[in-house]
Structure 1
Amino acid sequence: MLDITLDFETCSLTPTAAVMSIGAVAWKRDSEKSPFYNLKDGSTQDPSSVFSCHIDLRSMFVNNYTFDGKTAEWWGAKSDEAKASLLSNDSYELPCRPIEVAVKDLFEWIEDFKKEHGNQDVCLWAQGSDFDIAILRNICYKLNINIPVNYTYFRDHRTFLYEAARLICNAYGVFYYPEKAYDLVEDYKDVDKGAEHDPVFDCKRSIYSTWQMMKKLTHLKYPE
C-alpha cells in the first residue's frame, strides 16, 4: 500500500472552488525514522516523491469554478511569505498550467509512482473529509477524468488524528478533548518552518502528525 497526501490552495471553500495551486507528497507509514522518501544519502527528500504546480486561473474562470470574495480578503491578509509561495512557480520556465493539464499531470505522477514502487494500491489522504477530495471529484466530473484511486482508499488526516488520540486517551485513562490530538504529536513546523499555506508544506505537516500517531498506536497497550 502506498500513501499520498493531497492539498489544494483555493479561491473558495466550496466543492466547486477554483484551485490556485496543487501539492502532493508520497510517504511511508511504516518507516521508523521519517515518513518521507529521502535520497539515499538521507539529506533531502526525493524530488520524485513530490508533486507541485500552480494553476492558470483563466482556466478556472472560463469553466465556471467558484471565486469567493471572502477568501480573496483572507488571502490578502496573509503574510508576504505566504503570497510569495503561491506565486513562486509563475515564471517563464515554470508557467502556470490550465486545470485540465495540471490534474492529468498529477494523475500521471501518481501512476509513475505506482510503477516505480511496484504497487497499484494507493491511499489518497487529505486534511478533512469534505474539502480537497470533494474539490478534486468536482473537477474530474466536469473534465470527464477518472481518478486513479479507488474511492474506498480515500483517507482523512484530521479524522484519523482525532480518533487515534481518543483511543490512546481511553487506553491510558486520560481525559480526551479534540486539541489533545495535537498535544500528542510534534508539529512539523518545529522541524521545518516552511512557508505558510504552501500546499506541499501543508501536506508534510499533515503527514508528519499522522505518521507519529500511527507509531503511537502500533505500540499502544491496553490494560489487561
Structure 2
Amino acid sequence: MRNIMVDLETIGTAPGSAILSIGACVFNQSDKDNGPFVFSKNIDLLDSIFEGLTVDPKTTKWWSEQSVDAVRLLTKNPVSLKGALNTFASFLRKEDCLWAKGPDFDMVLLKAAYDIVNIKVPWSFRLMRDVRTILALAEEVSGEKPSPNTFDRFVKHFALHDAQLQRLQVITAGHILGIDLEEMS
C-alpha cells in the first residue's frame, strides 16, 4: 500500500467548484526527498466551466491577491478536466492510502468533479487520512508543531508544492509519534 499526499487548488470551496490544479506525491516514513512518483496537472478553467463546474467570485478575488509565482505555476500547460482526472486515476492504485489537509475539502471537491464528468472515483473512502489530525496529535505529544525546515523551497498555493510540504509534515509527525505510516495504511 502506498501513501499519497493530495492537494488541490480550486476557484471555490463548495463541491462542484472548478479545480485549477491537482498535486500529489507518493511517500513513506523514510522519505527525505520526493522521488519520481509525483503527479501535477493544471486544469483549463474554461473547460471546467464547460463541464459544469462553478466559479466562486470571492475565491476569484482571493486568487487575485496571491503571489505572482503561484498564479504563474497554476496557469502553466493546462489540460482538460477529464484528461486530468483520467490521468490522476491512472496514477493511483486501488489500495493507495490518500492523505489530504483535510479530506473533507480536497477529496470531496475531487470526488464531485469525478461525479460531474461521470468518471468512477479511483479511491476507497476507507483509505483516506487527515493531515490535520496527525499534526495535532504530534503537537500534543511534543508541544511543538511538526514543521520541517523546507518552506523556502515551496511556492505556497501551488498544489504539488503544498502536497510535498504536507508530506514532509506528516513524516515529521510520524517520527514524533513513533508510528510507521506503512502500518497505518
Unaligned runs of 5+ residues in structure 2 are: 180-185
Return the match for 2:132 from 126, 150, 158. 158
Return the match for 2:35 from 19, 28, 46. 46
Whether 1:102 aligns to 2:90 is no
Whether 1:14 aligns to 2:9 is no
Could you tell me whether the CA contact under 8 Å between 1:8 and 1:20 is conserved in 2?
yes
Amino acid paired to 1:66: T
Structure 1 residue 162, shift from structure 2 partner: 0.9
The CA distance in 2 between the partners of 1:80 and 1:150, in whole Å, is: 36
Whether 1:3 aligns to 2:3 is yes
Q: TM-score, normalised by structure 1?
A: 0.73
Deviations 1:140-185 (A, max 9, x none): 222222223221101111122113332x15xxxx6xxxxx4x2x43
Whether 1:64 aligns to 2:52 is yes
Aligned position for 1:185: 147
| Deviating more after overlay: 10-19 vs 136-145 | 136-145
Amino acid paired to 1:196: K
Amino acid paired to 2:110: L
Structure 1 residue 202, shift from structure 2 partner: 0.1
Aligned position for 2:98: 124
The CA distance in 2 between the partners of 1:148 and 1:20, in whole Å, is: 19
Unaligned runs of 5+ residues in structure 1 are: 37-44, 91-95, 112-119, 175-179, 220-224
Aligned position for 1:42: none
Query: Residue 136 of structure 1 aligns to a residue in which SS?
Result: helix
Root-mean-square deviation (CA, aligned residues, Å) is 1.9
Structure 1 residue 46, shift from structure 2 partner: 2.9
Amino acid paired to 2:35: D
Aligned position for 2:168: 208
Say how many residue pairs are matched: 179
The CA distance in 1 between the partners of 2:159 and 2:149, in whole Å, is: 16
Q: Which has the higher contact order (CA 8 A, sep 6+)?
A: 2
Aligned position for 1:135: 109
Could you tell me whether the CA contact under 8 Å between 2:154 and 2:165 is conserved in 1?
no
The CA distance in 1 between the partners of 2:9 and 2:147, in whole Å, is: 25
Q: TM-score, normalised by structure 2?
A: 0.88
Could you tell me whether the CA contact under 8 Å between 1:17 and 1:66 is conserved in 2?
yes
The CA distance in 2 between the partners of 1:142 and 1:151, in whole Å, is: 18
Structure 1 residue 64, shift from structure 2 partner: 2.4
Structure 1 residue 50, shift from structure 2 partner: 0.6
Deviations 1:92-139 (A, max 9, x none): xxxx2111111010111224xxxxxxxx52101111132110011111
The CA distance in 1 between the partners of 2:114 and 2:128, in whole Å, is: 15
Aligned position for 1:79: 67
Aligned position for 1:114: none
Could you tell me whether the CA contact under 8 Å between 2:51 and 2:117 is conserved in 1?
no
- Structure index of larger Rg: 1
